[in-house]
Chain A
Amino acid sequence: MPISAAVPPALPAEVPPPSAGLAPSPQAVVESETVIAPSQGWIGVNWFELFRSRELLYFLVWRDVKVRYKQAVLGAAWVVLQPLFSMVLFTLIFGRVANFSQKMGEWGGVYALFVFVAMLPWQLVFTGLNAGGMSLLNQTHLLTKIYFPRLYVPTSVVGGALFDFLVSAVFVVVLMFWYHVPPSPLILLMPLLLLATVACGLGAAYLFSALTITYRDFRFLIPFIGQVWMWASFVAFPPPTMWGAIGPKTRMILALNPMYGIIAAWRKMLLGGAPDQLTGWNPWYFASSIVVTAALFLLGLFYFRRTERRFADIA
């Protein structure tokens, strides 16, 4: 009889494995039927599936947050330091050189806070556009090896950005105490405003991640789009309402940029005493921002779903 160097594990087929944990899980009893067939055109969102695998979203966000600050000496402090650095930079450039700090004081606002409050929603949406837009391309090894709701890839990036948002929000509260700026009573509407901000970030993440994986040009376009978008959202300097008359072109930009109304609303909400002119608040622009945000979210979502079936082939 031949002898070999190795002995295989003798596994009696009939005897069930000893460990109790290997018994079929309760989910296994429920019969679920999956039909795999070609799909065409615009397809809906499988909300049931998204809900069922919601834990995966949690793990993806958790991974994102955890990995981001690993091996960084300052760790999660970077969440606050990043917008803080931008704020300091803007304060130095615009506050000092363009003398906004002084003007802002005359107008009844604090420039540093004015910038930081805008940085908060802007960072979230910009992360959605930038990191979210690149997310599918960075995860191609997952896309080609396993199935899971693909929508969770860009969603998890925005989830990580939301975590950063909440941490930075604590810092905003500190700044508000420091400068003695009370919030306006509108703060009760904050959850709704946050929802609109997240929807805008998600819309950008869905649309640009699907575009980037299909047309690699967007890798190079996204940073540029981000810059233009930031200036058009008046994150770093006072909105055009401060400059007197607004031409029809500027009006179009303000109405069509979803972030203009959203940032103005954040400012109005958190910088209680500041005049509407300074915050840029205008109910019509805000309403139009909400409509454009909803449109961006839906367009992103459905364009993503439409291209999703080809991700593994083109990744």
Chain B
Amino acid sequence: MSKPIISIERLGKAYFLGRHIDPHQTFRDTLANLCKAPLQRLRERSGPTHQSEDAFWALRDVSFEVNPGEVVGLVGRNGAGKSTLLKLLSRITEPTEGRAILRGRVASLLEVGTGFHPELSGRENIFLNGSILGMTRKEIQKKFNQIVAFSEIEEFLDTPVKRYSSGMYVRLAFAVAAHLEPEILIVDEVLAVGDARFQKRCLGKMQEVASGQGRTVLFVSHNMQAVSTLTQRCLLLSKGRVAAMGPTPDIISQYIHEGGATPEMIYSVPASTERPNITRMELRTSEPHNVQTNGKPLQIIVEVSTPWPIESARVSIHVCSRLGEPLVHFWAQDSDQQMCRKPGSYRLVFDVPKLRLFMGNYTLRANFKEYFGGREFDAVDSACPFEVVMYGQEREGGWWKGACAYLEEGKWAVEKVA
């Protein structure tokens, strides 16, 4: 088929701040406005004036096409308009301008378990949710056993879902969604739920849907691994506009490099005259803006300052997980490298030739103390947030966030023993 399955022409969505999205708009306000500005209202009615000052364009001038069977990723920072675009294409909300043509049956999955009712049993919710997602009763009946098998909740099929654990709930919800059979599937960050093992199965199922069955998928995720595993082409949105569209690897690297440096990426305070302190902490990551590729070198730079001589200075650094749990520890001490024996500022550089931390978000924690006597001069927590990505490293099936903390090097030997 030569016709694109999705054609989008100059699609835009504006929110009229203070008017259309004000949740507390009252009848009285409307009546008052009607009386106050009849002329303005008339003007508006004669045609939407898009130059309206209070209009906020969540999305504007978005045009692109998707061919049948293509899996397209949608990436962008928070607030770039990804969700708005998905909402427009799912027909949840109407565009303000432009148009989109979808040639085929559409199913959208902005959330798993939409319409689940806590009082109803698992069995009942499969039918209810399936029907809300656009399946016919026959289709649901046909797939019922597959859905139950995929969700692994056979025993609890007749229990109200309000008694389910959150894991069971999500498994059941995804199982229903995974058995949808549209020609166009629109998926938001639904894989961000559930445990790692289930996330893997969901992604596997997505992959099956995308590649095995020739469906067209529009996929939004912050998980670059999932995006690079599932998609060949990506659209990068930035501030409501299309920043780029092209092959996934190019777009992902553009996305990673696009982010602006934020001040907290570098920890920096003036030297104190009253006590020794840590004046600067900085990372030299393999990619810009504190993004580090696993397996590439990383440099950690720490500067300390002391107003008086220290006998046995020690600077220790932890790399901590998002939960603040220390994962890696390294230190510099006077007995190995002489330092701080005279007042002044010192720069310490720690070279990691090959960072083996697994994908995820990390921060640094540091303290500066005296080894003999154990006096602590200064401590810094949650400094230099950085992200480790697995980009450029291929593995069959991709990588899963949270699978482990770091990757060890080693060698397998396999032999048949029986």
Q: What residues of chain A have their CB less than 8 Å away from a CB belonging to chain B? A: 1-11, 13, 15-17, 19, 21-22, 24-25, 27-28, 31-39, 53, 55-56, 59, 62-63, 66-67, 70-71, 141-148, 214-218, 309-310, 312-314
Nearest CB of A to B400, in Å: 6
Chain B residues 264 to 310 lying within 8 A of chain A, measured CB to CB, are 295
CB neighbours of B213 from chain A (8 A):
16-17, 22, 24
- Beta-carbon nearest neighbor of A53 in chain B: B134
- B411 adjacent to chain A (CB < 8 Å): yes
- Say whether A38 contacts B181, CB under 8 Å: no
**When the two chains form their complex, are residues B403 and A66 in contact, meaning their CB atoms are under 8 A apart?**
no
Check B415 for interface membership: any CB of A closer than 8 A.
no
Query: Which chain B residue shows the least CB distance to A39?
Result: B94
User: Is B155 part of the contact surface with A, judged by Cβ < 8 Å?
Assistant: no
B104 x A31 contact (CB < 8 A): yes
Contacts of A22 in B (CB 8 A): 146, 179, 181, 213
Q: How far is the CA of A176 from the CA of B137 in the complex (A)?
A: 40
Chain A interface secondary structure, helix, strand, loop or mixed? Answer: loop
Does the CB pair B181–A13 fall under 8 Å? Answer: no
Nearest residue, chain A, Cβ from B29: A215
**Given known contacts A3-B408, A28-B105, A56 and B95 CB-to-CB distance under 8 angstroms:** no
Contact: A28 with B114, CB < 8 Å?
no
A residues within 8 A CB of B15?
Answer: 313
Q: Is the interface of B mostly helix, strand, loop or mixed?
A: loop
Find the B residue at minimum CB distance from A6.
B403
Interface centre among A21, A144, A216 (most CB of B within 10 A): A21
**Knowing A32-B104, A67-B120 touch, does A147 contact B91 (C-beta < 8 A)?**
yes
Q: Could you tell me the distance between the alpha carbons of A141 and B212 in the complex, rounded to whole angstroms?
A: 32
Give chain B residues whose Cβ lies under 8 Å from the Cβ of A6: 196-197, 200, 400, 403-404
Q: Which residues of A contact B91 (CB under 8 A)?
A: 34, 36, 147
Tally of chain B residues near chain A (CB < 8 A) = 87
Provide 23 A-B residue pairs closer than 8 Å at the C-beta atoms, listed in order of the A residue: A1-B409, A1-B412, A4-B403, A8-B399, A9-B200, A9-B397, A17-B213, A32-B103, A32-B104, A33-B101, A35-B101, A36-B95, A37-B95, A37-B99, A53-B134, A55-B131, A63-B124, A142-B114, A142-B115, A145-B92, A147-B108, A313-B20, A314-B23
Q: Establish whether residues A217 and B27, one from each chain, have CB atoms under 8 Å apart when the complex forms.
A: yes
The residue in A62, A71, A145, A310 that gathers the most chain B C-beta atoms within 10 A of its C-beta is A145
Which are the 6 A-B pairs with shortest beta-carbon distances?
A8-B397, A37-B99, A5-B404, A215-B27, A2-B407, A9-B204
Q: How far is the CA of A32 from the CA of B182 in the complex (A)?
A: 11
Contact assessment for A15 and B134 in the assembled complex, using a CB-CB cutoff below 8 Å: no
Are B103's CB and A33's CB within 8 A? yes
Whether A312 contacts B92 by the Cβ 8 Å rule is: yes
Partner of B208, one of A17, A24, A34: A17
- The digit string for B93-109, where 1 denotes a CB below 8 A from any CB of A, is 11111111111111010
B316 CB–A CB distance under 8 Å: no
Q: Are B207 and A11 in contact (CB under 8 A)?
A: yes
Question: What residue in chain A is nearest B125 (Cβ atoms)?
Answer: A63
Shortest B344–chain A CB gap in Å is 42
Complex-state Cα separation, A238 to B119, whole angstroms: 42
